[in-house]
Structure 1
Amino acid sequence: MQHSTQNNGLVTRSHGTGKDLVFLHGWGMNSGVFTEFSPLLSEEFTVTVVDLPGFGNNRNVVPDKYSVASLAEMIRPALPDNCVVAGWSLGGLVAQQLALSAPDKVTGLITIASSPRFVSANGWPGIDPAILSQFQKELGENFQKTLDRFLSIQAMGSETARQDVKKIKSSVTTYPDPSPDALAAALQLLSDEDLRPVIGQIRQPTLRIFGRLDSLVPKTAIDNICQLQPQSDAVVLSKASHAPFISHPQQTAGIIQRFMATRVQN
């Protein structure tokens, strides 16, 4: 049975029983993206999904300064005690920040197709800055068209790309559109934020799930990320792109279950 709660102005939704597992979504999305995936885990865990500030049911809750630190600060009071935080894409940036700034609440970290630094620069593989600039330009003209293009890039390479995009769109459109200000500010985060200097300080057990065909977090970045946090576990799904929990839900759920059972203390 699912129930909604409100904490610090943020709406969260939970279902299941067991250790708390919290999911944060990516840019332009909302927690609806986990609708089909979370039931694969809710028999073992209490799964909570959180719309990032400015998105979904939290579209009207936007911090004055939109940064990874301010998002983590807003979400922190809404986290259950002793939880594992799992962040997809942009949500993974926020999850990493929460592991650093809320170690009293976060006992484990999972990132899905995420990075401490999304944009490429000085030998660091990532998204071409020109692509992000183009997205920022297009965003002011047509949100839906920009989102569609972003979704197609996310699914690119996956054998089920068409179905993946369709699945994501049908899940997120049942929730309110994001705040235009938050949408633009969150896109800017993908260009600006850089947690590379600090992720080595994360002390919680960490699982990083990647898709080998991901063009937003390219496979050439995986070794670099693991070198910055050598104590983390990394799993690469050979046929997945940027949304492995959509294209390979059972496999992704199994990887998370094994991590929770072997690396995270109850």
Structure 2
Amino acid sequence: MTYNIKQQEKFKFIEEGNGEPLLLLHGLFGALSNFQHLIDHFRDRYKVVVPILPLFDLDIFHTTVGGLAKFISRFIETRNYNNIHLLGNSLGGHVALVYILKNPQRIKSLILTGSSGLFESGMGDTYPKRGDKEYIRHKTQLTFYDPAIATDELVNEVFEITNNRLKVIKIIALAKSAIRNNLGHELNQIQQPTLLIWGKNDTVTPPFVAEEFKKLIPHSELHFIDKCGHAPMMERPEEFNVILDAFLEKLKQPAATLA
């Protein structure tokens, strides 16, 4: 399904449906297509919003996790969203964490899946290998439990990024920023109900990372999806949506509490 990309000022985004905002943040090599199943499932009950993150458009000094969080802050203020269910995958989860720590008042709940912010094993050793498409294919496949999820279209998207010198510089800057920006000592400040959905076979942010997030974020619950890698909403969308559905429904109860 194709979606209408809207623009307001410098912000480009998808906005589908009505209700409380469900705002989705993609990762370092992510794209709007990562969330297709999620958008289609939730658009009947929520206002599903997917901003296009300016991974390659910020100046090099602001090409950081903090720079992206400021961008999201300006976007949310411009659109005047409130009672937001904020969901982030990989680097998008890290951006969501930085945002909620500075702007908790607009967020109703937090959903993290394969999030950086504590530990991540990235694609760092692939950056110098520009032009080696099969190597990029192999590393892209490692994102998933099932390598078939790494379609030719997805591999081509990653290859295009890693074959562009300026984009590679900015990818490296973002990756280094994510490693430096460890949030372990701040996570206990998050008071919103938090859902952690993790692939049991994630090799980028392994299961022990999810367990650490669960330990550090007070009102959090953790669900693992078996035979699933770093992007559960892409690889196991049906199971992902069932878990997220139950979490959001629980929040509608007057005295909602998380186990």
- Regarding TM over 0.5, the answer is yes
* 2:148 aligns with one of 157, 160, 163: 163
Distance 2:244 2:59 in 1: 30
Q: Which amino acid aligns with 2:204?
A: L
What residue in structure 1 maps to residue 40 of structure 2? Answer: 39
SS in 2 for 1:259: helix
What displacement does 1:60 show? 3.0
Q: What are the within-5 Å matches in structure 2 for residues 63-212 of structure 1?
A: 64-79=61-76, 80-119=81-120, 127=121, 132-138=123-129, 141-142=130-131, 147-155=136-144, 158=145, 161-166=146-151, 169=154, 173=157, 179-212=167-200
Relative to 1, partners in 2 of residues 1:167 and 1:244: Cα closer, same or farther, differing over 3 Å? farther
Name the structure, 1 or 2, with higher relative contact order (CA <8 Å, separation 6+).
Answer: 1
2:217 equivalent in structure 1 = 229
Q: TM-score, normalised by structure 2?
A: 0.82
Offset of 1:226 from its aligned partner?
1.4
**What do the CA deviations read for 1:76-102 (whole angstroms, capped 9, x no partner)?**
121222211100011110011111112
How far apart are the structure 2 equivalents of 1:211 and 1:15?
27
How much does 1:164 deviate? 1.5
Secondary structure of the residue aligned to 2:62 is: coil
| Alignment CA distance shift 1:148-1:192 (3 Å) | farther
Task: Give the Cα–Cα distance (whole angstroms) in 2 for the partners of residues 262 and 192 of structure 1.
Answer: 35
> TM-score, with normalisation over the residues of structure 1?
0.80
Query: How much does 1:132 deviate?
Result: 4.7
The answer for the alignment partner of 2:7 in structure 1 is 6
Give how far 1:144 is off.
5.6
Query: Which one-letter code corresponds to 2:125 in the other structure?
Result: Q
Q: Say if 1:135 and 1:167 are closer, same or farther in 2 by CA, change over 3 A.
A: closer
* Pairwise CA RMSD: 2.9
Instruction: Count how many residue pairs are aligned between Structure 1 and Structure 2.
Output: 244
Given that residues 94 and 178 in structure 2 are in contact (C-alpha distance below 8 angstroms), is that contact kept between their aligned partners in structure 1?
no
Following the alignment from structure 2 to structure 1, what is the Cα–Cα distance between the partners of residues 34 and 142?
Answer: 16
Unaligned runs of 5+ in 2: 255-259
Other structure's SS at 1:35 match: helix
Structure 1 segments unaligned to the other structure (5+ residues): 120-126
Structure 1 residue ranges (4+ consecutive) displaced by more than 4 angstroms after TM superposition: 143-147
CA–CA separation in structure 1 for the residues paired with 2:96 and 2:44: 23
Structure 1 stretch displaced more, 201-210 or 98-107: 98-107
**How far is the alpha carbon of 1:149 from its aligned partner?**
3.7
